[in-house]
Amino acid sequence: MAAPLISVEEALLRVLDGVSPLAAEEVPIDAAHGRVLAATLASRRTQPPADLSSMDGYAVLAADITEVPARLRVVGESAAGRPFQGMLKSGEAVRIFTGAVMPPGGDQVVPQENVGREGDEITINTPPKGKFVRRQGFDFKAGQVMLEAGRRLNARDIGLAAAMDHAKIMVARKPRVAIIATGDELVEPGGGDAPDKIVASNPVALAALIRQEGGEPVTLGIVPDRLDAIGGAIRSARNLDIDVLVTLGGASVGDHDLIAPALTQEGINIAFHRMAMRPGRPMLLGLADDVRVIGLPGNPVSAFVCAFLFLVPLLRKLQGRSDALPQTESAILGRAVDANDHRQDFLRAKFTRRGDGQLVATPFKLQDSSMQAVLHAADGLIVRPPHAAAAPEGSACDVLRFAD
């Protein structure tokens, strides 16, 4: 008798149970884009490090220009990287440029368009509308934590870390993920002329998803539907110092579905096999001391949806990401949906927004798990709980947005 199907929620708990972030490593700041910060990052300097001018003009004492016209004597110049040497006194002005350090004593900049100059004398006829000074620490201060651990670093984060004077930062090691595709019917892309063959699109799609999520894919090619061949591929994968092994195809319970017996033969415990979900029911989880195995179905949509729901959170948790778990959004249905059976459904859908900002999720009419064109056109998934009643257009629903 087959084991009962477990829920999607229970399956995700088992996939993530006992997973700890991988060891941290130090990388140069220009190699940190897309990596996950392993420790909070505090600034090593104050920004700006001194009071700076935000305009081209003249640094003055505000008290000297309370009444206009005001006449002042120019006693020097302050440019970016070349500050004025001396103290600004009453009755004096310093020619200053954007980004230059304010001279000691100066507390206001008069924009140059408000100033008339003859020789070393300036006349201010129009009082400035603002100080035009960026105060020391206006942006951030030394010791201030600006980036939290668990954040995947984007381009703006990299710019901030560099401005904080970090040349190197600690990030989580990239998870190494081996990919094995099984099936006598599979051929590599470019070799799909024969009608009895199927192009192995899953491995390249999965490798792209792994890279997108900060992992390092190791593709081991196509393995025939033989227990000895699959077992050998599993052994080869485990010798590559991987963190996760993903198999594609052969995860069901038919005569040619050999992933579960091959894993068992190799001493890998099957934590669960089959879930109450559609698409993707045959997925399995294998556990060993050195590797975690996710056995994905062969149908491309099932494989991608399962990878999105289970592999992506696993890769994120391995990197210590603060956003490891998938987060649903509220929407309304753009088309009526039928009642659901005992399985949790994930319907491919297009997302749009109405004029009032309401998110609308319109499921595609055809949801067959082999239809990659529909998967390509989708923005995400409508989540339908088990035993959900039929829902008309305009009903509330929960959706998951694809990460890309």
- The answer to whether residues 259 and 202 belong to one domain is yes
For residue 307, the SS3 value is helix
Q: Which domain holds residue 213?
A: 8-22+174-318
Smallest Cα–Cα separation from 57: which of 103, 104, 114, 101? Answer: 114
Same domain membership, residue 336 and residue 366: yes
**Residue 59 in domain:** yes
* 2 belongs to a structural domain: no
Paired tokens of 136: 């020391």
What is the pLDDT at residue 253?
66
Pairwise CA distance, residues 73 & 52, whole Å: 21
Q: For the stretch 241-264, what's the b/e string if a residue is b when 16 or more beta carbons lie within 10 angstroms of its beta carbon?
A: ebbbbbbbbbbbeeeebbbbebbe
CATH number of the domain within which 113 lies: 2.170.190.11
Q: Which of 212, 237, 186, 206 is nearest to 316 (CA)?
A: 212
pLDDT level of residue 4 (50, 70, 90 thresholds) = confident
Euclidean distance between CA atoms 35 and 350, whole angstroms: 30
Average pLDDT over residues 31-56: 97
Q: Before 217, cis peptide (omega within 30)?
A: no
Last residue of a domain, one of 286, 318, 350: 318
Question: Both tokens of residue 89?
Answer: 């006194």
Q: Tell me which H or E stretch contains 48.
A: none
- Res 1 pLDDT > 60: no
- 260 and 373 inside one domain: no
Chain segment 391-402, per-residue pLDDT in tens: 999 999 999 999
Confidence (pTM): 0.90
Q: Are 362 and 379 in contact (CB under 8 A)?
A: no
Q: What share of the chain is helix, strand, coil (3-state, %, to 5)?
A: 20, 35, 45
Cα distance between residue 29 and residue 10, in whole Å: 39
**Domain-located, residue 361:** yes
What is the rounded CA–CA span in Å between residue 41 and residue 243? 27
The two tokens of residue 117 are: 């100059």
CATH of the domain at 376: 2.40.340.10
Same structural domain for residues 165 and 38? yes
CA 75/CA 93 separation, integer angstroms: 6
Number of domains in the chain: 4
pLDDT in tens, 78-126: 999 999 999 999 999 999 999 999 999 999 999 999 999 999 999 998 8
Whose tokens are 């059976």? That residue is: 341
With contact defined as beta carbons under 8 Å apart, do 254 and 226 qualify?
no
Could you tell me which of 45, 113, 12, 97 has the C-alpha nearest to residue 317?
12
In a domain, 80, yes or no: yes
Q: Is residue 200 part of a domain?
A: yes
Which is higher by pLDDT, 4 or 103?
Answer: 103
- Continuous H helices in 189-226: 202-212
Using alpha carbons, select from 40, 36, 42 the residue that is nearest to residue 22: 36
Do 391 and 254 belong to one domain? no
